[in-house]
Chain A
Amino acid sequence: NAGVTQTPKFQVLKTGQSMTLQCAQDMNHEYMSWYRQDPGMGLRLIHYSVGAGITDQGEVPNGYNVSRSTTEDFPLRLLSAAPSQTSVYFCASRTAGGGSFYEQYFGPGTRLTVT
């Protein structure tokens, strides 16, 4: 199992450019989510999905779009990059179960710089 994979690992964008961060998981998890991590701010939820075809906004959704056409893939689109979107982005997945199944598995992260 590869777990949760993310591409690219690093990206530099100019203000106004758009791009898609890729995320895939091979654990057949229902739940997937995107976080951004900034110094002193912790992990903040951008968007999440509870299954194919179902997405919802998290804490900081502005400037980002998501879609979930398959269980495995959950891409994050930056519509028009801004310097405030410079951050480390983590994709995560977990099963729908409770108890210890709330363990989230994270991808290795994408380090994005917007100039």
Chain B
Amino acid sequence: RKEVEQDPGPFNVPEGATVAFNCTYSNSASQSFFWYRQDCRKEPKLLMSVYSSGNEDGRFTAQLNRASQYISLLIRDSKLSDSATYLCVVRMDSSYKLIFGSGTRLLVRP
């Protein structure tokens, strides 16, 4: 079983739609959680960290469910520019290493 699993998609949604991605992680010792965004043929960039109480950044909301070991990303009012691959990233306590999921591809159509 992969340490971090994501639905690869693609999620194909119209502009203005709300879309949500989930990501599950296998190690209950995981301590830090992030969403990265990767545009086609570009490097990944941090979108947002995920805090225990959930957090929002504009149209983006991230949630953490430790009991079920998953994190989610909700995008409201999708824009064409949101089209990208979203990577779920997990770090275990006392470890330098970040574990990356294989990504969920989002396509926002006009």
Contact = CB atoms under 8 A, between A and B. Distances in A.
B is a partner of A? yes
Interface stretch (B13-21, B63-71, B94-102): B94-102
| Chain B: interface size category | 20 to 34
Contacts of A90: 43-44
A45 interface: yes
Contacts of B32: 102
B97 A45 contact: yes
Interface residues of A, number: 21
Given A40-B102, A107-B43, A102 B34 contact: yes
Contacts, number: 45
Contacts of B46: 103-104
A43 B96 contact: no
Interface string B65-92: 0000000000000000000000100010
Nearest to A49: B96
Given A43-B100, A99-B49, 11 more contacts: A40-B102, A41-B102, A42-B100, A43-B87, A48-B97, A102-B34, A102-B98, A106-B43, A106-B44, A106-B45, A109-B43
